Amino acid sequence: MNNELQFGIQTNGIKHTHLDPLPDIDYRFSMVKAAKVFDYVDKTPEKDEINSFLKAKDKYQIPIKAGGWFYTVGEHKSLLKKNLLTAQNLGSTVHNTQIQAINSEGNLVTNLEVRDVYLEAYDMGLKLGVTPCFEVHVNMWSEDFLRVNEVGNLVEEKGVEFNITLDHSHVIFKINNPKEQKIYNTKEKILAGELILDPFIRGNVVEEWINSGWVKHCHARSAIPNNPLNIYGKHPDGTVGRGIQYPFKKPNNDEYHSLWEEKLLDPWKECILKLMKYHAKDPKSKLGQISTEFIPNTDYGEGCKYSLFEQGVECTKWMRKSWQKIIKEI
């Protein structure tokens, strides 16, 4: 039985409302310390921030266990190496790796391209003691969910373990979402029985990833089926945010633009519970930590009037309580 699991927070979510300025690095670490629910912070800082992160890490005795960045195939090598070296310097053990859907030549990346970048990143990380974990994420190759399975198999055919970051909010918000299901012919794949999004139905895609033993890192940001668009957030072309964030904690009446119902969170919670149960029971589990990630970006919480930090705190309290219950029942 695995009884070790840590919980952290992505540092962009260590702030309150969208209008509140992002606190300085020292103050963000002090907020994490005072909350008494987090084991670490999650961030790959810019070059001019690294020393401040190291000082705050030592001052508050809070590890920087994870970080992450996004990459364009064909232009990724030097940036990836720089970020993995930064991760090693900070003492991070995992690097959340987002591979954009379009490569440097303007083409959709192929499975073989993703596999080859993964193998390159894996070898690089192995030498530095940092594990790259390829994330399930919109706007990335992995938004076409079945490709995650295909690339995972291609990697394992080379005799290398496949490690992913599970952010299932990107799956949950597409359930019963006609507009989102047009992307990558998701609706057609569901109707053909090739893809199941609902975590309560056996054979769903999140459960497949978990049971494959691929999940080494997890981002926890709650979302609901057919998640409301983020009408407070606007892209440069004027379109509103896609809506991949739903408050975990009930917001005050004037803090959220849509109806809030706790029961709507059940599918998102089910994925976390499935992941925790697998981790507790299966010795093949590689999961080491879960980072909350309530963020102020356009498709997520831009314009939010609720506290991003408080959402992370309440979500982590629920996860800790659920984890303790799971390991006691095994």
Please write the tens of the pLDDT for every residue from 26-44.
999 999 999 999 999 999 9
Tokens at residue 102, please?
Answer: 């379009």
What letter does residue 24 receive in the DSSP assignment? P
Superfamily of segment(s) 6-329: Divalent-metal-dependent TIM barrel enzymes (3.20.20.150)
CA distance to 200, 240, 242, 244, 259, per residue, from 297 (Å) = 29, 11, 11, 10, 21
- In 3D space, the residue among 130, 33, 121, 122 whose CA is nearest the CA of residue 90 turns out to be 130
Largest CA distance in the chain: 55
pLDDT tier for residue 123 given thresholds of 50, 70 and 90: very high
Phi, psi values for residue 319, rounded to 5°: -65, -45
| CA–CA separation, 165 and 95 (whole Å) | 9
Residues 6+ positions from 52 with CB-CB distance below 8 Å = 24, 25, 26, 45
pLDDT in tens, 145-176: 999 999 999 999 999 999 999 999 999 999 99
Q: What is the mean pLDDT of the chain?
A: 97
pLDDT digits (tens, 9 = 90+) for 240-260: 999 999 999 999 989 999 999
60-107 per-position pLDDT tens digit: 999 999 999 999 999 999 999 999 999 999 999 999 999 999 999 999
pTM of this prediction?
0.97
**What torsion do the CA atoms of 77, 82, 83, 85 make, to the nearest 10 degrees?**
120
Evaluate if residue 317 carries a pLDDT over 80.
yes
Task: Report which of 295, 255, 231, 292 is spatially closest to residue 38, judged by C-alpha positions.
Answer: 292
Distance CA 65, CA 10 (A): 10
Give the pLDDT of residue 1.
Answer: 61
d(CA 154, CA 148): 10
Distances (CA, A) of 111 to 73, 100, 116, 146, 147: 12, 12, 9, 11, 7
For 104, the token pair is 């440097």
